[in-house]
Amino acid sequence: MNEIVDIQAVQSDLDGFDYDRMISDPDDREWAETAAGFITFGLGQAVVKVLEAGNLLIEAKQRLAHGEYLLWVEQACGLKPQRAAELAQAAAWVQMSDIAGTLDNVSDLGVLFLLSAKATTEDVRQWALERCAAGDPPTRREVQERKRKAQGRPDRTLVQEALSALKLSDEARELAAKAQHISTRQLMDELGVEELPKGKEHKTSQYTFCKNGTGWWKFPIEQPVETLPIQIQQEISPQIQAVSFDRAAQILGCAAASIRQRLSPKQVSEKGTWYKNGYRVTKGARGLVNLEPQP
């Protein structure tokens, strides 16, 4: 996902950074104030501007004292130290390899960070640069898959990756084949939020979303049979009867109140599925009781 920077918000943060107090050397102070403006602006632009920001971070680390540098990175530039390190590393790699022009059509910073990472082999970088030169830059997922192959790790199908990442229960494993891979932006649209809540799992009434290495898995939530409309229930299991609590009491030979109590969520959770007088008894939709004859 591309970095999006609110320039006005960043400028507000810049105005609040006390350069006189935080940076001791007057020359470094003036330089740092100018550099911070270029860095925060560059992060909202194309890769070439992002690389300029990385070069400024390299110079800043050389000029500013250790304590001054980290405070300036976080408070004046609005960056986490880890992201600043990634930017500096990417800029150093591009500068050393003299390939800045080749990356002009790369719009995903994640691709840049993956290629500049120390663990990335030269053959993977060369493959990606050839793609960029041809006007067809690889996606983040393609780079990750290429790195996996280069490291001798076998390819994994979507289902295998989902099972590995999500630690699915036995009941949910069959849903893995129905999993859909979506981005963080798509997840925020699904949840109707502008800022994603913390956590590796989110749910709506219809779907469960679980985090994986490159985004999120979207799983449909299957309704229990007893909560489906009676016509659909009978198509699944023609023997099911949907009856009132009073009629169920007559068939089962017990009080309607006892049935209500036994089918309460707490009782079902503690005692499991209820079998009585040859029937599997479950709570149905619209205030009914489902009775399914058992052999």
pLDDT at 178: 59
Of 72, 75, 74, nearest to 83 by C-alpha is 74
Residues in CB range of 106: below 8 A, 6 or more apart: 47, 112, 132, 137
On whether the CB atoms of residues 225 and 236 are closer than 8 A, the answer is yes
- On the question of pLDDT at 215 being above 60, the answer is yes
Q: How far apart are CA 237 and CA 248, in angstroms?
A: 18
Q: How far apart are CA 126 and CA 32, in angstroms?
A: 35
* Full-model pTM: 0.44
Per-residue pLDDT band at 9 (split at 50, 70, 90): very low
pLDDT at 254: 92
- On the question of pLDDT at 12 being above 60, the answer is no
Phi first, then psi: what are they for 73, rounded to 5°?
Answer: -60, -45
pLDDT at 121: 87
- Counting residues of the chain whose pLDDT is more than 70, the rounded percentage is 73
At 27-81, the pLDDT tens digits run 888 888 887 777 766 565 556 667 888 888 999 889 888 788 888 888 888 888 8
- On the question of pLDDT at 170 being above 60, the answer is no
Domain boundaries, the chain: 7-150, 166-220, 225-293
